């Protein structure tokens, strides 16, 4: 038996008390393609960052060809022959293709100056080896995402990824034709002895390409097996295999909530190039989960309904009346509120106090002829702070001093102060601890009991299953499944979420 | 020009995007040509309305007046390309030329080697700016606004109410400003040499390319493992050294040196850079453009003087030129952004 190209032994890493990966161990043999799969937040990205030196592991050992290594920067990892290509390419838009390939590792002439002729020649050779027809002189600003991906790939080749190449969802933006081309190159690299770690959400494309599959779940290593021994259903089972009761206590249940009138309906909603043909409705008192993988287009759908980017197709019907969606202000007027995922960036002004944040959208209503009335602002805030159990030393405390969970409650309160009837929550419990999570869940359920219709985007599958009366699954910008509370299981939702687009046009 | 071919991975139905792409690429690559065309139009305009504008002697005047600004604009351009600013260049000129030429005055025997004194002082100022911005992570506008006051203040402190008269300086100082090599003014030749050297350095040295990369996308620079702080620091030091050189020329030409020399030069230099097509958002443009921007400003100035315009009018026009140039710049940048977005969507539709 040959020495493994890459050996991970007991790798653990946590962020602020939350374990991202724990005790992960597996081997990648040279000359093999190794798939790394798992749900959102299973720890794949963290693992890649640890291997490439972007983040240090808390514990464990990485061995490269049997030798223990510890990279402190991606540069060190590259020098050792480990290169990663990320799914959202980071390139220099003002510079041309060749420069993007060779930035920092420009070929030099004997005088120590950049040898531009050689640079363009080598760029051309690399691109040809990748079987892409790209002009090395083309500015990256003008390339499609697929083309950009190949530039990243060429960069990895130029750096000499001869030992280990890590591809983080490389096909997310590629056409089938481009994907085939990429796979050909990956196979060629494998045949030359390079080890490849391939991360993908499209399980069906793994068969026929990868030699081994490693499954991560909740930061733990679940299984590593030859690809031939696993079918897609088996992989899905390994990805989600856990009982819900372990994670969340039994829900009081949506069944006990009485559903009221239909408050929101969307028909054939589309945003050119992002998602299309989305239809569903929301009733008063209902919690509808919007499940799917990161990047499937869920937030985009929510933001379209909220008017951040008006739709290019379809209809939005509020209270039985068709609405031409223009902007968030209009939608707020119609009683639709949206809680963004990035609550610090889009939802809160962190340097201001809880009071100031909470009353921000209704400050005009509380004022007397344009003059603010701090007393009423205080009272109003107190009302919501109690209802939402916001824990703070004082309501005048700056939001920046609050914990993640309490911040999220302030955002919630801010929108609740406006008295919305439809509330769209984008990852409401992302990055908050388990205890606060349960509280947020309770609050959401109470809001639904009060008759608010709730659309909840969440990448936490057990959370979606536990909270929702109904689950919509989005994959690749399309609605690929709709399940009632009783029929929804982790397996069926995950299967729908990893579906390839039905009518992906050929290139 | 546009060397981009339609690539095989282009998708059907993307012709509109393709055309927009070609247009944007053209805009990005040919902004210098636009400035040059503007300069020609400007020259024609002044030739028609100002009697003496088209004379050879006047062209010389413009070249002499413009050459120092060209050097400072080159210096500023290096920093601006990294997505930073240097607002202290006017003060650096004052400090470097006062202290530097005072050393020349005190050591008349040392000879022209002392031309290095103002350059070194400028370099030191660049080190201070670079440390604050690159390693201190202070936003460049704030940091260099601070050093603008600090350097100017130091110049006043050092001068202590005095001024340096040209007649107290060795002859070689004034000689440098008025001498000619092969019939061309040393001042103009120096400016041309600076443009050529900096231009080549930015194009053919690794650090030069990294200056562009960091300005273009700092996040990507981190992923590439580029040492961004070091490169930004080097850019400031280069800027300081060149400003020091400009300080010597400034002092040599002025004939008498006072600590309030070159007030407001930072705005003129920034204007030259922006008019010359260097993006204020970093990552694009080149020093040749900045130099043409400087000459354009010198031409406007000269034409207005010939027309008998007041100082205030000239200031007004210079300000307007900056604003217009920045508007043009932001329109171009927005187009690039929109286009990138369009590309991204196109990519996702697949």
Q: What is the pLDDT of residues A47-70, one digit of tens each?
A: 988 998 888 899 999 999 999 998
Q: What is the pLDDT of residues A477-497, one digit of tens each?
A: 889 999 988 888 888 888 888
pLDDT of residue B28: 56
pLDDT of residue A443: 85
Q: What is the pLDDT of residues B188-237, one digit of tens each?
A: 999 999 999 999 999 999 999 999 999 999 888 887 878 899 999 999 99
- Nearest CB neighbour to A145, from listed B204, B339, B343: B343
Contacts of A277 (CB under 8 A, 6+ apart): A268, A269, A270, A313, A314, A478, A479
8 A C-beta contact, residue A125 and residue B14: no
Q: What is the pLDDT of residues A70-123, one digit of tens each?
A: 888 877 888 888 888 877 778 898 899 999 999 988 999 988 899 999 999 999
DSSP A70-107: --SSHHHHHHTTEEEE-SS----TTSBHHHHHHTTS--
- Nearest CB neighbour to A95, from listed B24, B216, B345: B216
Whether the complex's predicted ipTM is more than 0.90 is answered with no
Inter-chain CB proximity B350 and A505 less than 8 Å: yes
- Nearest CB neighbour to B206, from listed A92, A114, A175: A114
Three-class SS state of B350: coil
Query: Strand ranges (DSSP E) for A250-320?
Result: 262-271, 275-283, 287-292, 313-318
Confidence grade of residue A182 (pLDDT, cut at 50, 70, 90): confident
Q: Which residues of A touch B217 (CB under 8 A)?
A: 90-93
Q: What is the mean pLDDT of residues B304-327?
A: 83
Is residue A250 predicted with pLDDT exceeding 70? no
Inter-chain CB proximity B336 and A141 less than 8 Å: yes
The residue of A49, A144, A158, A160 whose CB has the most chain B CBs within 10 angstroms, and thus the best one to mutate to test that interface, is A144
Distances (CA, A) of A301 to A79, A296, A298, A427: 42, 10, 5, 14
Can you give the length of chain A in residues? 507
Tokens of B6: 């339609």
Q: What is the pLDDT of residues A277-329, one digit of tens each?
A: 999 999 999 999 999 887 788 989 999 999 988 898 999 999 989 999 888 88
Q: What is the pLDDT of residues B11-68, one digit of tens each?
A: 333 444 555 555 555 555 566 777 788 888 888 988 888 888 888 888 888 888 899 9
8 A C-beta contact, residue A472 and residue A449: no
Beta carbons within 10 angstroms of residue B333's beta carbon: 18
State the DSSP code for A211.
S
B31-49 vs B15-29: helix crossing angle, rounded to 10: 60
């Amino acid at each position: 038996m040959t020495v493994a190209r890459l050996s991970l032994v007991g790798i653990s890493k946590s962020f602020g008390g939350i374990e991202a990966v724990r005790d992960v161990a597996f081997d990648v043999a040279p000359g093999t393609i190794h798939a790394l799969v798992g749900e959102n937040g299973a720890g794949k990205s963290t693992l890649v960052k640890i291997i490439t030196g972007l983040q240090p592991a808390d514990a464990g050992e990485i061995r490269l060809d049997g030798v223990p290594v510890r990279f402190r920067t991606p540069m060190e990892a590259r020098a050792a022959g480990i290169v990663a290509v990320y799914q959202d390419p980071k390139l220099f838009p003002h510079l041309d293709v060749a420069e993007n390939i060779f930035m920092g590792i420009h070929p030099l002439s004997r005088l120590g100056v950049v040898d531009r002729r050689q640079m363009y020649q080598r760029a051309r050779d690399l691109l040809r080896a990748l079987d892409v027809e790209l002009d090395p002189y083309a500015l990256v600003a003008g390339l499609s995402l697929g083309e950009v991906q190949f530039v990243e790939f060429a960069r990895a080749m130029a750096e000499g990824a001869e030992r280990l190449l890590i591809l983080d969802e490389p096909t997310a933006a590629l056409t089938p034709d481009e994907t085939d081309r990429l796979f050909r190159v990956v196979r060629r690299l494998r045949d030359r002895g390079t080890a490849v770690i391939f991360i993908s959400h499209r399980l069906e494309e793994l068969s026929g390409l990868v030699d081994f599959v490693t499954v991560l779940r909740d930061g733990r290593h679940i299984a590593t097996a030859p690809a031939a021994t696993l079918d897609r259903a088996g992989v899905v089972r390994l990805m989600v295999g856990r009982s819900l009761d372990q994670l969340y206590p039994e829900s009081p249940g949506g069944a006990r909530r009485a559903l009221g009138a239909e408050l929101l309906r969307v028909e054939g909603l589309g945003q050119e190039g992002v998602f299309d043909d989305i239809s569903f409705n929301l009733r008063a008192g209902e919690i509808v989960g919007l499940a799917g993988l990161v990047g499937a287009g869920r937030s985009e759908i929510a933001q379209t309904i909220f008017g951040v980017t008006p739709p290019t197709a379809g209809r939005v019907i509020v209270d039985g009346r068709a609405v031409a969606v223009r902007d968030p202000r209009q939608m707020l007027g119609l009683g639709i509120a949206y809680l963004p995922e990035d609550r610090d960036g889009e939802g809160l002004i962190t340097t201001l106090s809880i009071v100031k944040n909470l009353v921000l959208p209704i400050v005009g209503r509380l004022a007397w002829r344009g003059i603010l009335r701090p007393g009423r602002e205080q009272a109003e805030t107190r009302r919501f702070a109690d209802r939402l159990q916001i824990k703070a030393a004082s309501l005048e405390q700056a939001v920046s001093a609050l914990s993640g969970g309490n911040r999220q409650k302030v955002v919630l309160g801010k929108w609740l102060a406006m008295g919305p009837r439809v509330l769209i929550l984008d990852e409401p419990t992302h990055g908050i601890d388990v205890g606060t999570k349960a509280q947020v869940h309770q609050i959401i359920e109470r809001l639904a009991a009060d008759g608010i219709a709730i659309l909840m985007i969440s990448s936490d599958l057990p959370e979606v299953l536990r909270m929702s009366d109904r689950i919509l699954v989005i994959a690749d910008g399309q609605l690929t499944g709709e399940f009632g509370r009783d029929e929804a299981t982790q397996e069926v939702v995950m299967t729908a979420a990893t579906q390839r687009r039905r009518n992906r046009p050929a290139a | 020009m546009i060397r981009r071919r339609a690539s095989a991975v282009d998708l059907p139905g993307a012709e509109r995007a393709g055309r927009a792409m070609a247009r944007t690429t053209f805009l990005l690559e040919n902004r210098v040509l636009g400035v040059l065309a503007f300069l020609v139009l400007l020259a024609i305009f002044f030739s028609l309305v100002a009697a003496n504008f088209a004379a050879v002697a006047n062209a010389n005047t413009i070249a002499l007046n413009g050459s120092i600004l060209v050097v400072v604009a080159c210096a500023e351009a290096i920093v601006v390309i990294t997505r930073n600013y240097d607002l202290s260049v006017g003060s650096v000129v004052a400090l470097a030329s006062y202290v530097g030429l005072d050393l020349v005055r005190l050591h008349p025997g040392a000879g022209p080697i002392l031309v290095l004194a103002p350059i070194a002082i400028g370099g030191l100022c660049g080190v201070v700016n670079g440390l604050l911005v690159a390693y201190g992570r202070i936003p460049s506008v704030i940091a260099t606004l601070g050093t603008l006051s600090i350097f100017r203040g130091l110049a006043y402190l050092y001068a202590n109410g005095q001024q340096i008269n040209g007649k107290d300086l060795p002859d070689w100082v004034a000689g440098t400003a008025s001498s000619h090599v092969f019939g061309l003014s040393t001042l103009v030749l120096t400016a041309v040499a600076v443009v050529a050297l900096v231009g080549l350095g930015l194009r053919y040295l690794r650090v030069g390319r990294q200056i562009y990369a960091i300005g273009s996308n700092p996040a990507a620079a981190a992923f590439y493992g580029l040492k961004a702080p070091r490169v930004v620091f080097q850019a400031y030091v280069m800027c300081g050294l060149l400003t020091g050189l400009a300080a010597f020329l400034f002092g040599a030409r002025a004939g008498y040196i006072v600590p309030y020399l070159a007030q407001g030069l930072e705005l003129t230099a920034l204007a030259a850079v922006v008019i010359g097509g260097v993006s204020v958002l970093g990552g694009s443009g080149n020093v040749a453009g900045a130099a043409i921007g400087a000459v354009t400003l010198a031409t406007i100035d000269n034409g207005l003087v010939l027309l008998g315009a007041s100082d205030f009018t000239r200031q007004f026009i210079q300000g307007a030129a900056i604003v217009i140039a920045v508007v043009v710049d932001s329109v171009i940048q927005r187009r690039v952004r929109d286009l990138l977005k369009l590309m991204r969507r196109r990519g996702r539709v697949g």
